[in-house]
Structure 1
């Protein structure tokens, strides 16, 4: 039998009597340098595991020579089956040859030190791995994350990744070092103060915990904002779909295509979070913007964002298009960001109501909707131009930077007469 014993930074003191008895009778004691350092008395009976493949083969060879009742003990960090040595042992030995004795994992220790329930946490190992899973979890807006780090994917690198993704939410970070040892240290950070730090600023054994912060409902000081192109994180967004916002890089293209002028009436159909409507309102303070949104979640976000940005010239139209368009003032500009499966009726209603020299701008994600829209405008003999907007943004991965693409869109601009004025 091979007994796989989880051990913490408190060493032998943290093990039960029964586990210590197993170690005492072991034919061989195997583990990392740190693990074996707790049992210096074993001398030649110990095997330091450095090269996993070669050293596990040595354990297998010794295992084959064991007599009846003789055992091998392998020491591993925390819970051996939790991102640990247990997986490799199960590949090398049959399950009946192994018995596991788990210790408290570093993740358990981290959340208990923070006095924070963790049954809802997303656990990710960045130890010796690419950061793709972490990036996906952050983009999906995970409420609570615990990350096992390494020398490359250290706490500062993780903070840099968070900041480079342009998230619509922010996270409070804690770096938990040497958990369970006498020199244990827990430090809170905001991401901007954590990002400049290097691996050398922390003990090699650390866990990073990230907890999503609730967006502040306080109004935003207009002096903090650019005139044009507001960063996504300023907008309150959908909790379950934080990435479902017209991204800043795409939004500025839409606003340019709308060619806004003072005192215009603007419809934003399928307004979502209201980001395009609010940017339009700030650019045209004497105009009037109607944000048409059928979902209750979107309606709440539009109202919340209008309060945050202190815009008073956005009117929420709580209902679906085209039904709720008939009573609105005649528009000079129409932006269609979402159509709720009613693309053709919406285009028909827009064509009937738009000012003679007005513009329709559409952000289209699918070829099918692009084809339908082009067919309708061609039938109506409108002037149309289409841009494919495909943008990639730099994202930090450990010490490196690579480009991460946003979903491409087709930006369609249509008018009844010549496009020269736009």
Structure 2
């Protein structure tokens, strides 16, 4: 499996899950070749596109509501020739998807993280995995409490990545990111 580098994506003016965080998040999803996967708050599509490459025989759905992100997401879909990617325009907290998923990634929630978790947790197949990324501690806390409330076993890691810049080998850091993995506990 080849992971896609940040500079390969069309970026525009949209937030994007950075390469190292993307790789870890994808790994936490434990994707199989024929899986059905969901990316909520897809942005540029960096997670969705990488999901498509990992589940080449699967089906991936990306939900995005921002116009500028949708434009870039569609451009990346075409660039990477991901025919197994379906883009749904809209607010994830207001959609009623009929599918069930092996894995769900939540990268954007527009302030509705608890509602989105509760809606999409019901869409996970048995042994399905939900992976969520956060920059803010407030959203992290809301997500962990919501997952606990609906009987999910959780893991949380914080990832800090610094990259070398210039001839002096100065390290510049990206924002630290919290990666949460959730699985429904056996009852």
> TM-score w.r.t. structure 2 length?
0.95
Residue number among 127, 131, 148 corresponding to 1:361 in the alignment: 131
Give the ranges of 4+ consecutive aligned residues of structure 1 lying more than 4 Å apart after TM superposition. none
The structural deviation recorded for 1:229 is 2.2
Alignment of 1:23-422 (within 5 A): 227-239=1-13, 241=14, 244-324=15-95, 326-396=96-166, 399-417=167-185
More relative contact order in 1 or in 2 (CA 8 Å, sep 6+)?
2
Report the structure, 1 or 2, having the larger strand content.
2
Distance (whole Å) between structure 1 residues aligned to residue 128 and residue 17 of structure 2:
22
The offset of 1:381, in angstroms, is 2.1
Residue equivalent to 1:179:
none
Q: Deviations over 1:126-177 (max 9, x none)?
A: xxxxxxxxxxxxxxxxxxxxxxxxxxxxxxxxxxxxxxxxxxxxxxxxxxxx
Q: Aligned equivalents of 1:245 and 1:351: distance in 2?
A: 24
Q: Provide the C-alpha distance between the structure 2 equivalents of 1:280 and 1:379, rounded to a whole number of angstroms.
A: 28
Q: State the Cα distance separating 1:400 from its structure 2 match.
A: 1.0
Superposed CA offset, 1:177-199 (max 9, x none): xxxxxxxxxxxxxxxxxxxxxxx
Instruction: Tell me by how many angstroms 1:291 deviates.
Output: 0.5
Q: State the superposition RMSD in angstroms.
A: 1.3
**Stretch deviating more after TM superposition (266-275 or 246-255):** 246-255
Stretches of structure 1 lacking an aligned partner (at least 5 in a row): 1-226
Task: Give the distance between the partners of 2:157 and 2:57, measured in 1 at CA.
Answer: 29
Taking structure 1 as the reference length, the TM-score comes to: 0.43
Query: Which whole-Å deviations, capped at 9, do the CAs of 1:92-119 have from their partners, x for residues lacking one?
Result: xxxxxxxxxxxxxxxxxxxxxxxxxxxx
Which structure has the greater CA radius of gyration?
Answer: 1
Number of paired residues? 186
